[in-house]
Amino acid sequence: MKSESEDYKDDVSLPLRLAWKGAEALGNLAAFVQGRGGNEDLLQRLQLEYEKNYFLSGDIDVSLYHPDCLFADPFASFRGRERFRRNLSNLGLFVLSYRCRLLSLAQDPVDPNVFRSCVMVKLQLNLPWRPVLAWPWRV
């Protein structure tokens, strides 16, 4: 028994199928090139994330992160853009005040899909004794 897609293939000529596959591949390539931007564009957009203190608000530019992206720092490591956004939003509930300064941001020389950053973070926690924490955060 044939599936519907097999029946459809019989109705479409080989040249038409090849033209469609070629157009689809070309469209995917064009979307990849235009959508990604260059490395400089990515670095600038990531820098803007830090400037708006995304990791304390959860307000991230979702287009920068793959849905199954790995987020790792010295404290935790997990996968998933939505989990990352949710964790960041929840973290903000425990913080009274904060200051952040981007120290470095660079693309990994071995894996161009990996970006590494270091941020000097100082924050006051919303606990009864109001502790102040400061550390260089590497992500």
Instruction: List pLDDT tens digits, range 23-53.
Output: 555 454 444 444 445 678 888 888 888 888 7
The pTM (predicted TM-score) of the whole model is 0.60
**C-alpha angle with apex 87: 82 to 88, nearest 5 degrees?**
100
Does 44 lie in the same domain as 32?
A: no
Task: Read off the pLDDT of residues 79-97 as tens digits, 9 standing for 90 and up.
Answer: 998 888 888 878 878 888 8
* Distance from C-alpha of 75 to C-alpha of 138, rounded to nearest angstrom: 10
* Domain range enclosing 15: 1-36
Given this model, what pLDDT does residue 90 score? Answer: 82
At residue 7, does pLDDT exceed 50? no
At residue 8, does pLDDT exceed 50? no
* Residue pair 87/56 in contact by the 8 Å Cβ criterion: no
Does 41 lie in the same domain as 4?
A: no
How many domains is the chain built from?
2
